[in-house]
Chains A and B, each alone.
Chain A
Amino acid sequence: MTITTDAELDRAFLALADPVRRALVARLSRGPATVNELAEPFAMSKQGVSKHIQVLESAGLITRTRNGQQRPCHLDPAALEALTAWIDTYRLRAEQQFRRLDDLMHDLNKGEQK
């Protein structure tokens, strides 16, 4: 699954609007992990963590593979790229523009002091 539509983007952002799910994503950014491994740092039942994982999975942010009895979770880099791209392109453009405004203000200020 790739994140291309607004509905998918909305779902992905909503999935990340939770500190536990952000922590899970941060953990998975370092490599795949099983539900047990993911649940370890949290004061939360395995079932509770499983629910969060389902939200991330249906948002297209993570995938699960089968490895014998285990079903490790993997982060989907393409999905995350879609999110960060969406944020970054706009942020970058706005930032660049404001930095130019900063420079202009600096120039105006210098001119007035002459």
Chain B
Amino acid sequence: MTNATTITAQPGQPIIDIERIVDAPVDAVFRAHVEADLIARWLGPKGYEMDVTRFDPTDGGAYEFTHRNPEGEEFAFRGSFHSIVPGERVIRTFEWLGAPGHVSLESVDFEDVDGRTRITSRAVYQSIEDRDAMIEHGMATGVTEGYERLDDLLDA
């Protein structure tokens, strides 16, 4: 049983909000966001390898990592940790080096829900074009069952 992920991208706003409950205490979920060896085990698309080449999770610290897909293509990213409040919040910037200068600002909040953790994240892009490019880039996963998924869309 997988917890539901809520993704909200309002028309006309360069923002994506994501909410998700994780069945683990806040401490563990927070660690998975600020420890390089842990983040490398989950961040990014499935089947991608992740090399973290720089990771300084302090206020003003920087990070850099590279994702490698099964075909061997590499995608490099970097950003800064603006602020880190242990067990509560991470605010960081995010930039794909394939489109330098298009930087988003991400905040990730952690909240205890009876021993589980609610992750609430907001990414703010410099423009709606940036937001949509981010969504479209790096994902060429097949989208063929349009009608089946339409049912989900319509039931939502």
Per-residue interface assignment for chain A, residues 7 to 39, with 1 indicating a CB less than 8 Å from any chain B CB and 0 otherwise = 001100110100000100110010000000000
Pick out which of these stretches binds chain A: B38-46, B84-92, B95-103. B38-46
Residues B35-61 near A (CB distance < 8 A): 38, 41-46
With a CB–CB cut-off of 8 A, which chain A residues contact B151?
26
Closest chain B CB from A101 CB (angstroms): 4
Contact B153 A84 (CB under 8 A): yes
| B105 is an interface residue with CB less than 8 A from chain A | no
Surface stretch bound by B, among A40-48, A49-57, A65-73, A102-110:
A102-110
| Chain A binding surface, main DSSP class | helix
Which B residues touch A84, using CB under 8 A? 143, 146, 149-150, 153
Interface size of B by Cβ–Cβ distance < 8 Å?
A: 40
Residues of A near B7 (CB, < 8 A) are 87, 90-91, 94
For residue A58, CB closer than 8 A to chain B, the reply is: no
- List chain B positions with a Cβ less than 8 A from chain A: 2-3, 5, 7, 9, 11-12, 16, 18, 20, 22-24, 28-29, 31-32, 38, 41-46, 128-129, 132, 135-136, 138-139, 141, 143, 146-147, 149-151, 153-154
Interface residues of A (CB under 8 A from B): 6, 9-10, 13-14, 16, 22, 25-26, 29, 77, 80-81, 83-105, 108-109
